[in-house]
Chains A and B, each alone.
Chain A
């Protein structure tokens, strides 16, 4: 398989690597860097378990070919949780927002992105922000409540 050079920032670390072109960012994060916080739920962009933040926007990492990432800045759940839990994560813990937890990383990334752009989101805005993140255990309610609790308004 043809390989390509990539040079990008992964959770504040510069990565220079040579990789096959036909792998996705999700596979690269998990198989090459053991960053297993980013999950595969469907690999077709339908569940959001693999959500990461790239240049301040959320993406399904299963729908990004690794060459596309060249020159970009990627934040994963590991980068976000490097030091301690964020107020958002803490609120999700306090509310008991998750059950099996498999969707949690993706949800946290989507909600982190929301809060970075809007520190007082309405319930509708919160629901909208996680409309690309499926959860099968909860009714989404406690997730929304956890965000509402730390919302500025």
Chain B
């Protein structure tokens, strides 16, 4: 063990790039507005496309008449289900969502027809001219009712898309052993990704190559490619997908958004086509975080030892499956928190309704259960009169322990260190003092929460990374990875790994190419916080091969034994540290010989040895861990809560890209704060009450705390590139329960439904319809 640690430190000392603050790739292009997103494409002969979406949340389609629209001058084409050459369906897990609906619509975002016009102004007029006859069906809008055997079915096979049950130990025995049992129902909101750039895109047909290129924000270009090719019934190689740059993803662009519609229009018109998705349309058709109803019953001994946890998860997945199944399974896997609980019974339901569609979103089902579980833990600490850190310390997972679903943790765990840091932190240490600073009706409170997040896709789902590296004539390297820069900093992180692995000293020697099916290898999907891990490892492997080849060349040219050649700062040296040749000069020689090398790196994401029969996407093998401390101020007169200070403590393994790491953490805190306090796409009877940024509110600069601190807890992950794991998701998960726990700390009342809007907090403080009470204090 000791030897390992020494080795690790030695490794870290020699590293030039890992953990350094460097200029983020493309940042100059971003601040000058020069970067071109999909919506920024303008070309000659451009036509404009738009989708006719359903008028009703649930209906049969009786007739679609496009004749009047086709007659309108300027309309180039109108497409319906009849114009789909291949499969009329898409979906990552199951292709249950029609590209263009034929006989039934299941939510307001369902697409029925596509129009293309030579002018943007005509689009709405053309859509109005399409006549659709509907026969209305009852709207399924309550997941709990939908789950029962009601006659109205969103899909033929019923309203339950997935039902996962996991038992561990003996739940009844567990509760018998408990001295205290806490039972609660929690509810969570329907969070919208609200990426600043909607799903707009651009496509064109290249006659010479007989190829359709689709340029649209996405998170897995190779899967988009297959989904498009399947619909067009063409060879996937005839479809090129470029996913970046894009204005934010957060999981919301993992599934198909506009890509297939763009491809269909380009396929039929053979002209360059652009689709601009406006915000209202985006909110209606795009995926959301699953709203969940969570029933928790937790048993604990007097001394704080958790003994039993019974969990029921009801997730509203909306009209189509997308990733609802894997998401609910991830909820199930993480439902007991990062704690050792010997006896569990966990059931997860993924339920179809006509409430929009739910899908992947940063955290992937972990946010909801973490809010519930961390609220349970906080309540237990309160009831047992135990310090919240102490209670957690008693129960946290360590390497070798079993998670709530009974899979063994075999990789690094930074939880203990996170708790130590929380305990030491002034915000936590002084929490009682801070409370005294409250005015009579503006109450301060401090809350904490822990979380863990499986990295990668889990057992049963293909998950791999690959990379190509080629040496250029100038001694630099082109590095190709199929991962996508969503804005999370993947390009910079991968560049740093390449610079380090290729032992370079000049930042400009590496050029990263990502997110394009035509240029890069398939590198799996950029989700599950795994881009650094999977692509980083692949780049690392390809780099080692590259260096080996280069050393062989040097060995041959200079007749020096292979083992006596070292590489440092882009220079080959002998054992006496004398320069043999630089990369630049070697590249010239190799270029003359037409021997500039190209290498590949392939890496299968490690998965857990535990298999749970019949369940896919769990368990995970690598986990990131995080903790948050929140200081809130609650105005008890109005219920309005402000996050004043926030601390994130993140074990994502070694930090590769320091600025990117902090950026993800700060953004995660603010997005998590929005989730906790204000964000919810309200849907009633399948109709959207919230349609755009004026009613869907995300935090502004005036809501976000300026005082955000990010503390890296760098556990060294042996398998990760340079000891790193992944952080994209875990940075946003624990802050929401830390905030609601802080509200409890401030007011003595617990909010069991997020977002904790002013109204919800107000009514938790002042029971409904009761006049102001006389103990209201004055300053």
**A residues adjacent to B (C-beta < 8 A):** 1, 20, 30-31, 34, 36-44, 46-47, 49, 76-78, 81, 85, 89, 92-105, 108, 123, 127-128, 130-144
Contacts and interface: CB of A to CB of B under 8 A. Distances in A.
A139 B708 contact: yes
A104 B30 contact: yes
Contact of A99 (B487, B698, B705, B708): B487
Contacts of B198: 41
22 contacts: A37-B32, A39-B197, A44-B279, A95-B659, A99-B489, A99-B664, A100-B197, A100-B245, A100-B246, A101-B487, A130-B701, A131-B702, A135-B196, A136-B193, A136-B250, A136-B667, A137-B667, A138-B670, A139-B670, A139-B705, A140-B706, A142-B662
Given A46-B693, A101-B247, A136-B194, A92 B31 contact: yes
B663 interface: yes
A143 B489 CA distance: 16
Given A93-B27, A100-B247, A136 B671 contact: yes
B380 interface: no
Query: Do most interface residues of chain A lie in helix, strand or loop, or is the interface mixed?
Result: loop
A108 B196 contact: no
Contacts of B667: 99, 136-139
Contacts of B32: 37, 77, 81, 85, 89
A81 B248 CA distance: 23
A98 to B, nearest CB: 5
B31 A89 contact: yes
B701 A140 contact: yes
B666 A44 contact: no
B279 A31 contact: no
A128 to B, nearest CB: 7
B40 interface: yes
A149 to B, nearest CB: 14
A142 B24 CA distance: 13
B704 interface: yes
Contacts of A100: 195-197, 245-249, 486-487
* Max chain B C-beta neighbours (<10 A), residue from A42, A92, A94, A141: A141
Nearest to B197: A102
A128 B702 contact: yes
B39 interface: yes
B279 A43 contact: yes
A101 B670 contact: no
B23 interface: yes
A43 B282 CA distance: 12
B188 to A, nearest CB: 19
Nearest to A76: B33
Contact of B670 (A38, A78, A94, A140): A140
A139 B662 CA distance: 10
B554 interface: no
A130 to B, nearest CB: 5
* Max chain A C-beta neighbours (<10 A), residue from B194, B487, B660: B487
A102 B33 contact: no
Interface string B18-59: 000101101111111111110110100000000000000000
Contacts of A144: 701, 706
B15 to A, nearest CB: 20
Given A37-B32, A92-B31, A102 B701 contact: no
B34 A37 contact: yes
A98 B36 contact: no
B700 interface: yes
A131 B24 CA distance: 25
Given A99-B487, A131-B700, A46 B692 contact: yes
A21 B419 CA distance: 61
A93 B23 contact: yes
Nearest to A46: B693
A43 B32 CA distance: 21
Given A42-B279, A42-B693, A46-B692, A78 B197 contact: no
B706 A127 contact: yes
A94 B23 CA distance: 6
B224 to A, nearest CB: 18
Given A85-B28, A101-B487, A44 B33 contact: no
A96 B33 contact: no
A36 B708 contact: no
A44 B197 contact: no
A41 B34 CA distance: 17
B683 to A, nearest CB: 20
Given A138-B667, A138-B670, 18 more contacts: A36-B42, A40-B278, A77-B32, A81-B31, A93-B31, A99-B248, A99-B664, A100-B246, A101-B35, A102-B197, A108-B33, A134-B693, A136-B250, A136-B698, A139-B708, A142-B662, A142-B666, A144-B701
Interface string B79-104: 00000000000000000000000000
Contacts of A132: 700
A121 to B, nearest CB: 13
Given A49-B196, A89-B32, A142-B663, A102 B37 contact: yes
B704 A141 contact: yes
B704 A139 contact: yes
Contacts of B245: 100-101
Nearest to B492: A96
B714 interface: no
B60 to A, nearest CB: 33
Nearest to A37: B33
Contacts of A78: 33
Nearest to A99: B487
A41 B276 CA distance: 11
Interface in B159-211: 193-198
Interface in B654-695: 659-660, 662-671, 692-694
Interface in B3-24: 21, 23-24
Contacts of B659: 95-96, 142
Nearest to A49: B196
B488 interface: yes
B766 interface: no
Contacts of B489: 99
B574 to A, nearest CB: 39
Nearest to A31: B120
Contacts of B27: 92-93, 96, 98, 101
A41 B694 contact: no
B303 interface: no
Nearest to A22: B121
Contacts of A137: 248, 487-488, 663, 667
Contacts of A43: 278-279
Contacts of B664: 99
A76 B706 CA distance: 28
Interface in B262-286: 276, 278-279
Contacts of A142: 659, 662-663, 666
A139 B279 contact: no
A105 B33 contact: yes
* Max chain A C-beta neighbours (<10 A), residue from B29, B36, B667, B670: B667
Contacts of A98: 24, 27, 30-31
Given A134-B698, A136-B667, A104 B693 contact: no
A37 to B, nearest CB: 2
Contact of A136 (B30, B195, B701): B195
A38 B708 contact: no
Contacts of B701: 127-128, 130-131, 133, 135, 140, 143-144
A73 to B, nearest CB: 18
A89 B30 CA distance: 10
A38 B664 CA distance: 25
Closest 10 CB pairs of A and B: A37-B33, A100-B487, A102-B247, A101-B30, A139-B666, A96-B659, A77-B33, A46-B693, A36-B40, A81-B32
A108 B34 CA distance: 13
Nearest to A81: B32
Contacts of B668: 139
Nearest to B196: A102
A77 B670 CA distance: 27
